A and B are shown apart, each in its own frame.
Chain A
Amino acid sequence: DTEVTQTPKHLVMGMTNKKSLKCEQHMGHRAMYWYKQKAKKPPELMFVYSYEKLSINESVPSRFSPECPNSSLLNLHLHALQPEDSALYLCASSHAGRNTGELFFGEGSRLTVL
């Protein structure tokens, strides 16, 4: 069982819809991540929050908007997506600071954009 919980597990949306992906962890980690993974490819980093502040944005299009309301929660707001944005979206967490240790992944949210 994963200690990082993501909802929803599956999401189908049209290009004009607005939806959100949610992620929660209770391991006391102060770094949280969004990754995007296409089939047969490794995860690609999108955003990193450390101590609830955005640390990394890997030049992600503005139709993806991250939010970190508190140290346990991470959201990804989706608006006006394209069919090529269909992918598995993985949330992960780790310790923050110099020794971050391993990444803990949630089960992912599988997104289909019609």
Chain B
Amino acid sequence: RKEVEQDPGPFNVPEGATVAFNCTYSNSASQSFFWYRQDCRKEPKLLMSVYSSGNEDGRFTAQLNRASQYISLLIRDSKLSDSATYLCVVNSPSGTYKYIFGTGTRLKVLA
């Protein structure tokens, strides 16, 4: 079993749609969780850190479920510019400098 698993997609959705991605992780000692966005041939950029209480930033909402060991990302009112690969990243465990990347989920928002 991979340490961090994501559905690779692609997810093709129309503009304005709501789309959700899930990511599961295997190490229950994991402490820090992140969603990164990566555009084609560019570097990953932090989209959101994920906290136990959940967090929201505009159209984006991230949730953490420690009991089931998954994190989620919800994108509301999708824009064409949201088309990218979304990487789930887990720091496992804290202080080891090992950030485990999921394979990424490709999203394409269609006009």
Interfacial residues, chain A to chain B (CB-CB below 8 A): 2, 31, 33, 41-43, 45, 48, 50, 55-56, 88, 90, 94, 97-108, 110
Contacts and interface: CB of A to CB of B under 8 A. Distances in A.
A74 B51 CA distance: 31
Interface string B19-37: 0000000000000101000
A102 B97 contact: no
B99 interface: yes
7 contacts: A42-B104, A43-B44, A90-B44, A98-B95, A105-B43, A107-B42, A107-B43
Interface residues of B, number: 21
Interface of B: 32, 34, 41-46, 49, 87, 89, 91, 94-95, 97-99, 101-104
A100 B87 contact: no
A33 B91 CA distance: 14
